[in-house]
């Protein structure tokens, strides 16, 4: 049996056409990715009362925020685990060993924050404010977590005003706190507090995109 290999008459042109097609596909894909990125960046615009976690914070402030952003999710879970009770500062520090509440060497270097819990549970609305006052303004500013759950009669619950974003983290270089019984977005902003936005991850992009 004889095998005959027939070479295409226009082999060079076919190879060239293939290369051009590949370059075109890559170019279109890159363009679409770039457009998508630009559209997302345009939608991620900070409000006047918001600051960027990674552009506007630095040093100890950025470290504390990073710890808080992780800790608040643990606090959310503990609220349910503790029988719909917000964990105390002491429990977060000693029992749970949760940073930045633990008073260790890092805590001392970052401003020795004194944390206070203001519990504002009312009926099916479970709301907690954890406030950290810095004792060394040169080391770090002041921080505040505002977290809330809405519990239904049948025992189920959802988090946050819009069900998707159950907490916010706030920052202020100068200590000025509204009345503890009336801490909210509306009272924090006039007092000079800034909501910290972490512009990383789909959830944060979605949060800013809806505002």
Mind giving me the DSSP string for 49-87? TEEETTTT--HHHHHHHHHHHHHHHHHHHHHHHTTS-PP
H-run or E-run covering 38: helix 11-43
pTM of this structure: 0.72
Is 90 exceeded by the pLDDT of residue 103?
yes
Tell me which of 32-41, 69-78, 93-102, 141-150 is least confident: 32-41
Quick one: which of 65, 36, 80 has its CA closest to 202?
A: 36
Higher per-residue confidence, 29 vs 170: 170
| Tens digit of each residue's pLDDT (9 = 90 or more) over 146-162 | 998 877 766 565 555 44
Separation CA 187–CA 50 (nearest Å) = 14
For residues 37-51, give the mean pLDDT: 68
Query: Helix or strand or coil: residue 133?
Result: strand
Closest by Cα among 83, 74, 54 to 147: 74
Average pLDDT, rounded, for the chain: 80
Residue-wise pLDDT tens digits, 46-84: 999 999 998 999 999 999 999 999 999 999 899 989 988
């Amino acid at each position: 049996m004889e095998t005959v290999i027939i070479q295409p008459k226009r082999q060079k042109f076919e190879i060239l056409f293939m290369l051009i097609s590949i370059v075109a596909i890559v170019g279109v894909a890159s363009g679409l990715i770039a457009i998508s990125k630009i559209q997302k960046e345009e939608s991620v615009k900070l409000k006047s009362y918001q600051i960027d976690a990674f552009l506007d914070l630095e040093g100890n402030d950025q470290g504390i925020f990073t710890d808080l952003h992780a800790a608040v999710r643990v606090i959310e879970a503990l609220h349910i685990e503790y029988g719909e009770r917000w964990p105390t500062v002491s429990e977060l520090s000693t029992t749970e060993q949760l940073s930045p509440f633990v008073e260790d060497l890092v805590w001392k270097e970052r401003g020795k924050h004194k944390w206070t819990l203001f519990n504002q549970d009312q009926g099916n609305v479970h709301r907690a404010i954890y406030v950290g006052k810095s004792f060394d303004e040169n080391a770090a500013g002041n921080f505040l977590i505002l977290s809330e759950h809405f519990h239904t009669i049948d025992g189920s619950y959802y988090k946050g005003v819009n069900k998707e974003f159950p907490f916010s983290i706030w920052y202020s270089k100068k200590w000025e706190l509204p009345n503890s019984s009336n801490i909210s977005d509306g009272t924090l902003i006039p007092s000079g507090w800034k909501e910290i936005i972490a512009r990383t991850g789909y959830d944060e992009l979605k949060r800013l995109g809806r505002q």
